[in-house]
Structure 1
Amino acid sequence: MKKPMQSSAGVETYEEPYRPQLHFTPESQWMNDPNGMVYYEGEYHLFYQYHPYSRQWGPMHWGHAVSEDMFAWKHLPIALAPDELGMIFSGSVVVDWEDSSGFFDGEDGLVAVYTSAKGDFQQQSIAYSVDRGRTWTKYEGNPVIPNPGKIDFRDPKVFYHDDSARWVMVLAAGQEVMFYTSEDLKTWEFASVFGAEYGAHGGVWECPDLLAFYVPGEENSKWVLQVDIGDGAAAGGSGGQYFLGNFDGKVFTADTAPEDVQWIDYGKDYYATQSFSDIPEMDGRRIWLAWMSNWQYANEVPTEPWRSAMSLPREVNVIKKENGRFQLTQLPAAEMEAYTGDIFIEKSVEIMQTTKQIICEQPSTPFKLEVSIPLDKKQPATFELFDNADAPGCEVKVNAEAGTISFDRAKMKMSSFHKDFPAVTTAPFDKSREMLKLLFVVDRSSVEIFINDGEQTMCNLILPENQSNYYISGKGSSEIHLKGEVMHSVWK
């Protein structure tokens, strides 16, 4: 048996059913939204919503882990715990390089901006760390933004806006976002509001993020405003949407029509997306990850002694399509390649039967599988992962005529734990291409699908039965090319 990630307490625990091998999980108990993601002095920091006394949501703390590559994580002690202002809800961390806050005696350090929540009363607070995030001091002047009379007023994401030489905060407020600005991270001024008539409004807006992207051939940066919704997402329940546009330091202006909804991910399990702040300019990437669950059933997913995992870190870009529209793309962070091992399949397969045929023996998870399907004849193709004579797996169907790919986990026996879990999720793809390209990253309890170089994605949890032999199967009427590689576990 393999040991898991290094424990802050020095305690060795061992693999449990469904424990991911590539994705971050807490050692035990409940986890939800990623918080405070920042790169500082050679480390990626991941804070997260954490209930240390239960596997269900409860009084929120900030859990904490660090990594050199966003895959192999070291658990650290709890960073922030509830106080007289309430629970510690979601937020962000920035590097105060010029000591604008005055917390660091002219040096630099980390400042956390988070929501203090007491019942339905939510305000924004800050804390700072002078020792690389290992310990935190809460600001004696909290809250820095008192509640202006709103029930939902939370999840501050902060960044420094060079052109206006001010800190900017984007904050979720009901079903819109509010922008604030500051010179010192302590005194904030309201700037603007966005979203009342834009996008999807099936549930409360949460966990916003705002990022600027350089697009080749474009004179100005393109801004992406990411916003999650608690219900009514593409696959049902919670999920994320994004808006393309421009930001002048105070006001975000969308390029798209108010009714135009663009989804971050078409799976059931990709929520509360947040990006790493302060990635060095010489690197230049935008990288984010999300909580891999859905509020419809998150409290009941049958794992122990932990509950919930984070998605893979994804490199995010904006491209300009031939039709002139801008498109968000997402692919696994390049650091994942360090965990790529032997090839277990690389061949072309002609699937002609109406009944499934075994393509190859499936390796022990995790693994990645690249699939190319010609679209010239618009022929269908179906794959099944975790296929076993005694245990149906999850099914991926390509409808070349309609330009859709669907993921079906309903036949998996353990999917029955909740009525909303055995779902079929569907994503569109550009059927005008000559070839459909799919990248599957399969872990012990999840499948992330990247479509056509990440133009669309689909992230879903799975709960395979504990079988020793699985197969990758297929059926349809198409010739496909497959390349599969085993992935090394990030557990030490």
Structure 2
Amino acid sequence: MYRSDELLKARITEQLYEKKIRPEERPAFHLTPRVGWMNDPNGFSWYQGEYHMFYQYNPYDTQWGPMHWGHAVTKDLIRWENRPCALAPDTFPDREAGCFSGDAAELPDGRHLLMYTGCRREKHLDGTICDVQTQNLAIGDGVDYQKYPGNPVLSELDLPEGASRIDFRDPKIWRESDGSWRCVVANRAEDETGQLLLFTSLDAFHWSYLSKLAVNHGRFGRMWECPDYFVLDGKSVILMSPQDMEPDSLGFHAGNNVLCMIGHLDEEDENGCFREEFVHPVDDGIDFYATQTVLSPDGRRILTGWMQSWDTVPYRVDNAKWFGQVSLPRELTIRDGRLIQRPVRELEQYRTDKAERRNVAVDDSRVFADPALSGRIADLIFEIRPEEDCREVEIRFAEGGSHYCSVTYRSQDQTLTIDRSHSGVIRDVLHSRTAKVSAADGSLKLRMILDRYSAEIFVNDGETVMSMTHYADPEAAGISVRARGEAAVDITRYLLNI
């Protein structure tokens, strides 16, 4: 199979430089780039007995740069194995700016199909330069991929009137029960806000415009990115990542979000056939963006995302050899009009060293800290029962010396705050975020998944999720509980041996 000079250079670079990164310098079970920079996960798919994950990748620097597709595989969604770089910016549609986000699927003949956005730079007679985005294909065997000679398969010639050729990206592809194919692509509409365009194909190679799937009309941020569409528990679901949102009463924060729409399709309406019934954030934490889902062989819909945010990219370790990580995969269901997210059940097989404490009493003068319940790579369950006078219960983790990260529950206003301000940070960017939580009787259940450089908090069995990265001293593994007012707490801790 032909491999361009650009692809060979990337593969040689990652082979040479990944050897300089010791395993303990990485997370234990969150996927990171082999070297350099990672952003959006791409092409999350099941192929030839493994889950494949691709990702936006710059192997030459820990900053965003010319976009390649990195590649890794896993059999259990926990332990990842690197594969060689899959795509490099080496053809006309993508040479100047790169191979942007997209998806993957298995063709009927057993080949692995990648669909990605190519970005090229166009210079006009007046000297101005703009990026033009098109959708392109590559076909391979799970290791090597050849770009389709008919690229691009979707360009400005396929767009409806008023659709931007500059912001036209991130295809999500799937096959319908009748054997035909669909893909949804993010686009900027005439009103300068996002819309999702639906395309159809009989063979996955020749595409035509079908309709608008969803239209923003200026409600949720500006441009929409990384769309996903699937059916779950009898409902149609759209996930996408709006840019430049203002905070609102639905719980969205300022900046970049991930939005979930639950509803149904009205295929008779060409002006946006998706009918929303419920809309809410997917993750209320600091670091989460650009989701992808896959349907597992046993029928579970599994989600993952870039556990980072464009708003917090300056928060990093100086001289690190990698940047960016993918969230722990999550199983999805729908309950009472809300997307429920739980850590994939495969994580539980790595639990070890269980420790429990029941009815731990904490108040203004009693702090609970037991070295037997410490852990930096751990799966923790807290059940918090505040008394009527309790103003807040704070859980500290990655604690060592004067440094720690925290999760604080305030039962009187039913909020949960995650905070890394005291983890040894030296960058003045966003370090805390607060979300509303549901606690009818005041009690709250938290499941906290800790890795070396992150925390993902699942509230009330996945009703709300809050994710964040942190770079506390890797040796800091203390866990403590304290309160203002009286509370009782049940604690279960498992170490994760991965």
Same fold (TM over 0.5): yes
1:245·1:252 contact (CA, 8 Å) conserved in 2? no
Residues 31 and 470 (structure 1 numbering): CA distance in 2 closer, same or farther, change over 3 Å? same
Name the structure 2 match of 1:305. Answer: 321
**Which of 184, 195, 199 is the aligned partner of 2:203?**
184
**Which of 138, 162, 166 is the aligned partner of 2:180?**
166
Please list every run of 5 or more consecutive structure 2 residues that lacks an aligned counterpart in the other structure.
1-13, 122-130, 189-193
Question: How far off its partner does 1:345 sit?
Answer: 3.5
**Which of 404, 414, 430 is the aligned partner of 2:415?**
404
Residues 436 and 343 (structure 1 numbering): CA distance in 2 closer, same or farther, change over 3 Å? same
Write the deviation string for residues 78-124 of structure 1: whole angstroms up to 9, x where unpaired: 11111221111000001122xxxxxxxxx322111110101321000
Write the deviation string for residues 20-77 of structure 1: whole angstroms up to 9, x where unpaired: 1121111210011000111112110000000011110000010101111111111111
Write the deviation string for residues 214-263 of structure 1: whole angstroms up to 9, x where unpaired: 2xxxxxx201100102333734432200101113678642233xxx7410
Please list every run of 5 or more consecutive structure 1 residues that lacks an aligned counterpart in the other structure.
1-6, 98-106, 215-220
1:391·1:465 contact (CA, 8 Å) conserved in 2? no
* Secondary structure of the structure 2 residue equivalent to 1:338: helix
Residues 14 and 57 (structure 1 numbering): CA distance in 2 closer, same or farther, change over 3 Å? closer
2:352·2:494 contact (CA, 8 Å) conserved in 1? yes
The residue type equivalent to 1:197 in the other structure is: H
Which TM-score applies when normalising by structure 2? 0.84
Residues 245 and 252 (structure 1 numbering): CA distance in 2 closer, same or farther, change over 3 Å? farther
* Secondary structure of the structure 1 residue equivalent to 2:348: helix
Name the structure 1 match of 2:260. Answer: 242
Residues 375 and 189 (structure 1 numbering): CA distance in 2 closer, same or farther, change over 3 Å? farther
Moved more, 18-27 or 357-366: 357-366
Distance 2:219 2:379 in 1: 33
2:386·2:488 contact (CA, 8 Å) conserved in 1? no
2:314·2:429 contact (CA, 8 Å) conserved in 1? no
Name the structure 2 match of 1:19. Answer: 26
* Secondary structure of the structure 2 residue equivalent to 1:276: strand
Whether 1:485 aligns to 2:494 is: yes
Name the structure 2 match of 1:77. Answer: 84
Distance 1:180 1:65 in 2: 28
Name the structure 1 match of 2:334. Answer: 318
The residue type equivalent to 2:322 in the other structure is: W
Residues 121 and 345 (structure 1 numbering): CA distance in 2 closer, same or farther, change over 3 Å? same
Question: How far off its partner does 1:9 sit?
Answer: 7.1
Question: How many aligned residue pairs are there?
Answer: 449
Whether 1:117 aligns to 2:138 is: no
1:362·1:469 contact (CA, 8 Å) conserved in 2? no
Question: How far off its partner does 1:197 sit?
Answer: 2.8
Distance 1:18 1:231 in 2: 33
Distance 1:375 1:469 in 2: 25
CA RMSD after TM alignment: 2.4
Moved more, 21-30 or 337-346: 337-346
Question: How far off its partner does 1:156 sit?
Answer: 0.2
Residues 57 and 299 (structure 1 numbering): CA distance in 2 closer, same or farther, change over 3 Å? farther
| Identical counterparts, % of pairs | 31
2:340·2:462 contact (CA, 8 Å) conserved in 1? yes
Name the structure 2 match of 1:458. Answer: 466
The residue type equivalent to 2:464 in the other structure is: Q
Which TM-score applies when normalising by structure 1? 0.85
Question: How far off its partner does 1:166 sit?
Answer: 2.4
Name the structure 2 match of 1:67. Answer: 74
Residues 50 and 359 (structure 1 numbering): CA distance in 2 closer, same or farther, change over 3 Å? same
Name the structure 1 match of 2:229. Answer: 210
Distance 1:55 1:22 in 2: 20
Moved >4 Å (runs of 4+): 7-14, 248-251, 354-357, 359-362, 466-469
* Secondary structure of the structure 1 residue equivalent to 2:26: coil
Name the structure 1 match of 2:292. Answer: 274
**Which of 313, 336, 351 is the aligned partner of 1:340?**
351
Distance 1:127 1:50 in 2: 17
Distance 2:310 2:447 in 1: 26
Residues 364 and 398 (structure 1 numbering): CA distance in 2 closer, same or farther, change over 3 Å? closer
Name the structure 2 match of 1:100. Answer: none
